[in-house]
Chain A
Amino acid sequence: MSIDEYNGCAIVAMVGKDCVALATDTRFGVQRSTITTDFQRVFQMGPRLFVAMSGLVTDAYTVSARLKYRLNLYELRENRPVSPSVFVSMVSNLLYERRFGPYFSTPVIAGLDPTSGKPFIAGFDCIGDPSIGSDFITDGTAGEQLMGMCETFWRPDLNK
């Protein structure tokens, strides 16, 4: 069994008309056993900025905690909320620092730009390659199934 399937998850982020949506499953399992069914994978990083972490739960927690630490320092120094493109760079660099021994968790970002309010979504691979999405991002063990659904049903300017 692959390390990404140890805990398993399903994550999707989607862009709509002046809005974004981020959805995850809530199963926390260890291989075939389910431990809880009310598990949170979404972490809030700002008033309109959320990150969902896929993959191994321990790494999901570690990465989100370390990310929040860097983000807090950024916002203290800069005295302003982080913009999505800077946040993407921050995530990318954090993951790439572990290039040859990566975190087995990949973030999916969904939020609105703090100044313009423009919808913003992004996904990564486990070493931090950023892909900024214009329509949807899917991730997790059910990522391919979700991608099939999104490809079929997504169209621009969906309302909330």
Chain B
Amino acid sequence: MGLKHKPNVKTGTTIAGLIYKDGVVIGADTRATGGSIVQVKDCDKVHYIADNIYACGAGTAADLHQVANMISAQIRLHSLNTGRKPKVATAATMARRHLFKYQGYISAYLIFGGCDDDGSHIVCVDANGFTRVEKFTSQGSGSLAALSVLSTRFKLNLEREEAMNIVTDSIAAGILNDMGSGGIVNLCVITRDKTQYLKHHRVVSSKGVMGDY
């Protein structure tokens, strides 16, 4: 319909997350593409939702930016209203209700990860509103590459170092094998007491430098 305009910036993306012994680890790459051009080489796809909840996003960049901010604001108000620490399920439900209303036209594929009073959770929300609760998951164009690493190496009750390595390697698999993903691995480790956002955790590919993978 009408004249085509230049493609919206998409986060082609590899995002992944898993639950380990003490909490969750979620990770993302840093490439944002517009058509076949890399528009942003260092874009932040791990969105702050609450101190104990972060969401990785794949899909149209503007939609993710707006949805993540909106959920974050709503969660803050909800948390103040209820006087309780926010729950991952609440954030995921808010996202699900919003996205279903728009029937998939808001292209946001999210992996919510966090620790709340009910434990550690990874919840995947599709652009159509489909929601699933997982122990490990990946989304985006590089999700198959990431999932192959996750499926092979995931076990219950992993230690922190091992969990971080598995997520990093799964994002790296996406970065190396998927054209829509690239750059650096950003990780976020969330436990009951602490959240650590490790920006630029591992540089997988950078200009003019031969990688060691």
Contacts and interface: CB of A to CB of B under 8 A. Distances in A.
Interface string A1-23: 11110100000000000000000
B37 A99 contact: no
Contacts of B63: 99, 127
Contacts of B34: 125
Most chain A beta carbons < 10 A, residue from B6, B60, B61: B6
A131 B5 contact: no
B6 A134 contact: no
B5 A102 contact: yes
A131 B3 contact: no
A131 B61 CA distance: 10
Interface in A124-157: 125-131, 134, 143-144, 147
A69 interface: no
B8 to A, nearest CB: 5
A2 B6 contact: yes
Interface residues of B, number: 22
A129 B3 contact: no
Nearest to A133: B40
Contact of A127 (B2, B39, B42, B62): B62
B9 A131 contact: yes
Given A100-B105, A134-B42, A125 B9 contact: yes
Interface string B25-39: 000000010100101
Contact of A96 (B39, B42, B66): B66
Contacts of B4: 2-3
A125 to B, nearest CB: 4
Nearest to A143: B37
B61 A129 contact: yes
B62 A96 contact: yes
Nearest to A1: B3
A24 interface: no
B65 A92 contact: yes
B62 A131 contact: no
Contact of A125 (B3, B61, B105): B61
Contacts of B65: 92, 128-130
A104 interface: yes
Given A131-B32, A131-B39, 15 more contacts: A1-B3, A92-B62, A92-B66, A99-B106, A100-B105, A125-B8, A125-B9, A125-B62, A126-B6, A126-B8, A127-B63, A129-B8, A129-B60, A129-B62, A147-B37
